[in-house]
Amino acid sequence: MRYYRYKNAEVSCCYKYLMFSYNIVFWLVGAAFLGIGFWAWSEKGVLSDLSQVTRQNGFDPVWVVLVVGTVTFVLGFAGCVGALRENICMLKFFCGVIGVIFFLELTAGVLAFVFQDTLREWISDFFLTNVKGYRDDIDLQNLIDSLQRTQTVVNTQCGYDIRARPEREWNTVIHVKGCIPALEGWLPRNLYIVAGVFIIISLLQMLGIFLARTLIGDIEMVNSGFRY
């Protein structure tokens, strides 16, 4: 393979702005997630009293939104700045973190498939622990309700006076199916949707790695003064 030296060589604008466009979307999504998370905390009064974070009885779904938003925001920022400034360090950071996330997702999927019984037991313990805080956190309440919801709920007082009715009428007033059975029933019905989401996420991650590695190689080639 022969190399040619160019005095005024430039990085390919195609890969540079593709990388920027790819990451600006994720940066905006990350900012939106952070905004939603802090808004949810503001509505619950957490921002005015941060000690509530340590006093919560159960899992707060807002944490998931904030963590995903933070990671997405930081990666999008690193990718945008790395592409525009042709900063190899930031591009390698972006590429490395995406690679680690992809590996963790793949590992989690394999472990979940191999240890299905253990995972089912862990999820059951998780819900049994957090259902104690059902009335303390509106977001946790909505999460549990969304897993159970198969009909319109008439009784919003957690089954008050439900035993006074015939058992055949219970499912018209309250959720009679627990979180774990509901989740186990939901997954098979939506298996293709879940698989499609994971495939799309994986393809986007691989696209990001490809763009970052290609741009890094192009920058290094230009810095050395050579082109193919």
Q: Say if residue 186 is exposed, middle or buried (CB neighbours under 10 Å; 0-12, 13-18, 19+).
A: middle
The pLDDT of residue 190 is above 60: yes
- Please tell me which residue, 157 or 198, carries the higher pLDDT value: 198
Residue of 94, 101, 73, 112 lying closest to 195 (CA atoms): 112
Q: Model confidence at 110, in pLDDT bands (50, 70, 90)?
A: confident
Q: How confident is the model at residue 102 (pLDDT cuts 50, 70, 90)?
A: very high
Decide if 211 contacts 22 (C-beta within 8 A).
yes
Decide: 158 and 135 in contact? Cβ < 8 Å. Answer: yes
Any bridge partners for residue 4, and if so which? 227
Answer whether residue 3 shows pLDDT above 60: no
- End-to-end distance of the chain based on CA atoms, in angstroms? 8
- The C-alpha atoms of residue 82 and residue 170 are separated, in whole angstroms, by 58
Mean of per-residue pLDDT scores for the chain: 78
